[in-house]
Structure 1
């Protein structure tokens, strides 16, 4: 029987350390792969075709209590992906609440800088000059092999794993959009605006990415509650579309869009305030929580 595991990154004794979660216990990945193993998850996913099956075989041999979770400061699982790609307007109910009347003909995408990544448990500083800071619970994809123009295989075969995301948005630049359209950098590109993790769950342990419950709470109050089956474009659709434009590479992160319940679409509108705790849970993948200051 294959034992399920998850991968993450945290600071242990002051050093950034790849981690593996097995049966509720956390171990340094070096205990599994030895000193010759990859120094970070970027390298793990660069060699995913070989390392994925190898890790799956070795996790059964892990023994002992593992690390004390209180001593781990989580980091974004992947801090230096080549690309961070986000999909917008990908749930019908979210289109309605945002007053978008035209259903997109293809996945609507934008790029985000790596500096937007943040870790589970990390405090997110609210930026100066933006007042309408919003939440967006999302399923994240991590790519495990090159897949680009001309590739005709199953897009899901390119997926190494799935993770939990909060696609934070400054809605000021929707409310006050200039005549040229929404400024997506001003809305999405702020530092720490994409908390991710804490874990990446290998795709082999996710039976159907289009049947995962997704929920977001603010200070314990449910704001979003949906299922990935309500996406307009599936995970496979998204990868197929993006790969026709650019080569997706190991470690690339793709955010798949958010369901209804964002603050901008509520009546009256609600936005993140200093001191708020926002938690995102995706079924089987874990919970991501951040406090805003």
Structure 2
């Protein structure tokens, strides 16, 4: 991208007259630690120059020649794209770091791989450090999330196998922060959750900046990236005839019941989340195999629904629903047993590989 001198930047910002869905996109070189707030906003000239100075973390005069801007009528990602495939990992000396995988690597081969080291976080953005490190232990790509927002009954064929009507709005439930687990973690299963333990492979979305009252047309610009999730479910608590009268949230909210990973893949690599194939295997046997084009509500429609009058904070994780093939509706039933390994693979992202460990 060509660099633009101060005079051109000032003139361009002053002359830009945005129409609906047009944006001024400001791209800052990674080492300057640009805030994600600069990546996609239409700003007045004074505000633009002020934020430009305050977010580059360098003297104003020396920073400006290194800035380039784009005036465009196309929607662009809202977030700093210093990464392609964001991972989080431990090194041999115990440090926890963020890294960038420049190509897709099988999950079981990521440990031992040398990756680019990134500095930053979701709120402030990421920048390349110029250093590399070897992955000793692969972790969940997020250290925490404030909440998991989850969608039930969001695949046509899943609704058919469940013999349920298509919902008129996305069916929403939540998982708490402690449900988070990593892509290679064993999932510890409490004795009361073992009798009807089930898997649900899901395309999972990570929000990149605070979002409220977002329209579907703009929704994907709020996405940091996509990852793989397993909505682990204790059906004995979920079903209407269950021991607690049927509670989606409780049945799915136990510790480690939301493993995600292996990476958060940039929206630049996945421009259309409705064109992905994925599979779920249990001990190598294919249980779920579908495309995200079978979704009832698209990722963009889900974000619009979830942000209606509600703020989704940066780092919020959205599980977008599971396709047909869950253990509950198989004949014979396909519930998970102690030691079973669930592998969920989404095209272009990678795989979760989690073993169920009964307490």
**Equivalent residue, structure 2, for 1:29:** 117
* Greater relative contact order, per chain length (Cα 8 Å cut-off, separation 6+): 1
Match in the other structure for 1:7 = 86
Q: Secondary structure at the match of 2:189?
A: coil
Structure 2 runs not aligned, ≥5 long: 2-80, 106-112
Is there any run of 5+ residues in structure 1 with no aligned partner, and where? 31-36, 39-43
CA distance in 1: counterparts of 2:293 and 2:114, whole angstroms: 31
Match of 2:180 among 114, 117, 121: 117
1:99-139 Cα distance to aligned partner (Å, 9 max, x none): 32x21011111111111011111111122112100001100
Q: Does 1:213 align with 2:273?
A: no
Q: Give the CA deviation at 1:67.
A: 4.2
Q: Aligned pair in 2 of structure 1 residues 152, 282: CA closer, same or farther (>3 Å)? A: closer
Q: How many residue pairs are counted as aligned between the two chains?
A: 268
- Partner Cα separation in structure 2 for residue 241 and residue 142 of structure 1: 16
Per the alignment, residue 315 of structure 2 pairs with 251
Displacement of 1:21: 1.0
CA RMSD of aligned residues (A): 2.4
How does 1:1-293 map onto structure 2 within 5 Å? 5-12=84-91, 13-23=93-103, 24=105, 26-27=114-115, 29-30=117-118, 37-38=119-120, 44-48=121-125, 51=126, 55=127, 67-69=133-135, 72-100=136-164, 102-130=165-193, 131-149=195-213, 154-175=218-239, 177=241, 182-293=246-357
Q: Is the 8 A contact 1:45 1:144 kept in 2?
A: yes
CA distance in 2 between partners of 1:164 and 1:179 (Å): 30
8 Å Cα contact 2:227-2:349 kept in structure 1? yes
> CA offsets, 1:270-293, max 9 Å, x none?
111111111000000011101111
